[in-house]
Structure 1
């Protein structure tokens, strides 16, 4: 009888320990994140993390997001609390989050931890980072099937690659991330998708995921195709020596509308859609005479999938 009573008394403790063990996840800093129950009030400080939470089916648990999060549409109604380098600590704390998901290099991380806020730091730069973030966020949030999402995303990339014409494969590409010569290298998430599509990135991964390049580097690389956002397109041809680059000379330049640029820039669950956008650019027909889509017409604008 006494044993039975003792077992009943200890049962809640065992259940609590089980829940804690199930919720314990190690983030990209090596810090152990242990929660007694799945978080119900979540703040995200990266668009890719916002999209990851929503893709896992936990969008309704978000109580705040960074200033750049705009997909899915419902996050526009949430409080926006700054970005990687200028997050408003006061506003975040006022939201009383159970968990804040943010970059492991964010200035806000240590400050929030010192105030007793649970944080999870994640690095999102490469294609493999996307899978790791999916798995870890799914574990700590206690929602979604990360592996199923990963498989669907990869199937979509494979389908985009399979649909490309044979003559698009092997195209040398320069992908400009933002003004000032920052490029997506072969080791970036964009570089990984380009490789899956059969393209050749002229920026080697050894330079870092998003290196800042001397304009002469691109001139020497002489890519066959340039990809950039629409707001940077006028600047490219004016750079010293760039008129000699094949892509510029033959007008083989793809530009992306802001909504497309968001999909491409974010290493998150919409990488399948990113592959389709890049594939449309690679598949744009060019004649032997060099007639191409011209400036601003390489990738037709399309709204991100809901």
Structure 2
């Protein structure tokens, strides 16, 4: 075989091997990158020490990311599921019913009446509790039992963002938490009508006695984001008791009532009562008595955009 042909064959073999090597290196590179991306978004079990400030102002120290967590708050539980961290939940409250998978978790009672025996048997390395302050009796009881506690009490939109961020830090899912916050933030302007805010509303919390809310609550914030102006916004009490006579004088355009939407009989009974006692009001005349799922109205959590959309869609324009 002539020398030139041998040289040509050698070059072809060399080129072929080089291409195979590059192909193999490319596969290895993509594999490593995929591992890196996955590791950045999976539940963390590393031993890096970190600190997260809870809603009481306490700096809670962690030697590692907790793996057995009890949630004493439905909005907290919803956030864990939304972040894909539900496998870390060892127990939840009896009111944690969303998503439906939450009901498969061990029932630990409620934060008002917790099942301390069940909580102890679950051996949690963290309990996240939804109470207003560390002076709460349940908080103090759990603290005295030696449990590690994190107080989370979201009261408004910023509080929801903080709760999501805190749970992201605690579980090591910071990126997912940031993405969820951005998602909520980006969706709210699309469904927010706070710039018009010209429709007066009576926001009812209870019927017997008749109870509403001022402008310092999460329920009021949802209503404002939906474009409604609370007729009792200026009250000093967060949840003042009112009467029909005063409501009639203020003449709301719409009546919003967070209720068990499945209990149609009870809702019909209430609607009949409100129609009889407020028949001259704008809300009754236009049929704007809105029943909305109390879960999404009372729970400051990831479903805030759903609450705003639902509330606005149920309003009848005339």
Tell me the TM-score range normalised by the shorter chain.
0.7 to 0.9
Question: Considering only CA atoms, is the larger Rg found in Structure 1 or Structure 2?
Answer: 2
- Is the 1:89–1:108 Cα contact (8 Å) retained in structure 2? no
Alpha-carbon distance in 1 for matches of 2:72, 2:81: 14
- Counterpart of 1:80 in structure 2 is 107
Matched, 1:170 2:198: yes
Shift of 1:206: 4.8
Give 3-state SS (helix, strand or coil) of 2:147's partner: coil
Give me the TM-score of the superposition, normalised by structure 1. Answer: 0.76
Distance in 1 of aligned mates of 2:285 and 2:166: 46
Aligned-partner SS, 1:44: strand
Is 2:289 aligned against 1:253?
Answer: yes
Root-mean-square deviation over aligned CA pairs: 2.5
1:134 to 164, 185, 192: 164
Alignment of 1:289-304 (within 5 A): none
| Residue 213 (structure 1) aligns with | 242
Corresponding position of 2:65: 38
Of 120, 140, 165, 1:93 maps to 120
Instruction: Note the C-alpha offset of 1:199.
Output: 2.0
- Distance, in Å, in 1 between the alignment partners of 2:82 and 2:235 is 32
Point out where structure 2 has 5 or more consecutive residues left out of the alignment.
1-46
- Say which is worse superposed, 42-51 or 81-90, in terms of deviation: 81-90
Asked if residue 265 in structure 1 is aligned to residue 298 in structure 2, the reply is: yes
The CA distance in 2 between the partners of 1:74 and 1:227, in whole Å, is: 29
Structure 1: gaps of 5 or more residues: 1-17, 287-306
Deviations 1:132-165 (A, max 9, x none): 2122222223224333212211222222237x9x
Q: Give the match for residue 48 of structure 1.
A: 75
Cα distance change on mapping 1:25 and 1:235 into 2, 3 Å: same
1:11 equivalent in structure 2: none
Tell me if the contact between 1:29 and 1:104 (Cα under 8 Å) persists in the aligned partners. no
- The answer to which of 58-67 and 142-151 deviates more is 142-151
User: For 2:155, what is the secondary structure of its paired residue?
Assistant: coil
Q: Deviations over 1:4-40 (max 9, x none)?
A: xxxxxxxxxxxxxx822x2x11212222211211111
